[in-house]
């Protein structure tokens, strides 16, 4: 997998579970000393395997319990239209994810809001003002049985 050895894979697995682990504890978990572990982590960061470190916030506890997946159909297709759409969506903090997809729809957005009324305000007041959008279809999440951020990284072999 992209030149990763067993220690690199172990580092990635551990950091996905605990991004705040100290370098000393990480080194102990993977069986190295602190200095080479830190160098490996820095190399993984430089090479883009580790993009950033974040805290996972409980959206309900911060007043954003509503999740919607929004399928977007574009009026037209082309590089400039897509680039313009992506720039506009990037400015909308309610949109957590934007995926260019294959199928009947062109994009799939993951949106969080405080309530269905706030979602309606977001759609009517901001999202549908993006000129390239022809149509949207919303699916509200009722409950989530699995929310995972970890990418499976198997040991070598």
Residues 6+ apart with CB under 8 A from 140: 66, 67, 68, 116, 119
Q: Return the CA Rg of the chain.
A: 20
pLDDT score, position 157: 63
Query: Which H or E run includes 100?
Result: strand 95-100
Give the span between the Cα atoms of 25 and 48, in whole angstroms: 23
* Selection from 51, 44, 52, 53 nearest residue 2 by Cα: 44
Indicate yes or no: pTM above 0.85.
Answer: yes
For 65, how many CA atoms within 13 A lie in the half-sphere containing its CB?
8
Q: How many CB atoms lie within 10 A of CB 65?
A: 14
DSSP state of 154: P
Rounded average pLDDT per 10-residue block, the chain, 157 residues:
87 96 98 98 97 95 98 94 96 98 97 98 97 96 95 84
pLDDT of residue 156: 73
Q: What is the pLDDT of residue 3?
A: 82
Q: What is the pLDDT of residue 155?
A: 83
pLDDT at 41: 98
């Amino acid at each position: 997998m992209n030149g990763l050895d067993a220690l690199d894979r172990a580092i990635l697995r551990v950091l996905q579970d605990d991004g705040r682990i100290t370098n000393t504890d990480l080194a102990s978990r993977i069986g190295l000393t602190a200095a080479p572990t830190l160098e490996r982590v820095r190399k993984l960061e430089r090479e883009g395997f580790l993009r950033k470190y974040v805290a996972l916030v409980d959206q309900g506890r911060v007043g954003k319990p509503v999740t919607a997946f929004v399928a977007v159909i574009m009026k037209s297709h082309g590089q400039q239209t897509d680039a313009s759409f992506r720039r506009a969506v990037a400015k909308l903090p309610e949109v957590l994810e934007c995926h260019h997809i294959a199928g009947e729809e062109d994009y799939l957005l993951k949106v969080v809001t405080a309530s269905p009324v706030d979602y309606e305000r977001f759609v009517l007041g901001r999202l549908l003002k993006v000129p390239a959008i022809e149509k949207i279809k919303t699916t509200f999440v009722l409950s989530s049985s699995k929310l995972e951020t970890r990418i499976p990284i198997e040991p070598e072999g």
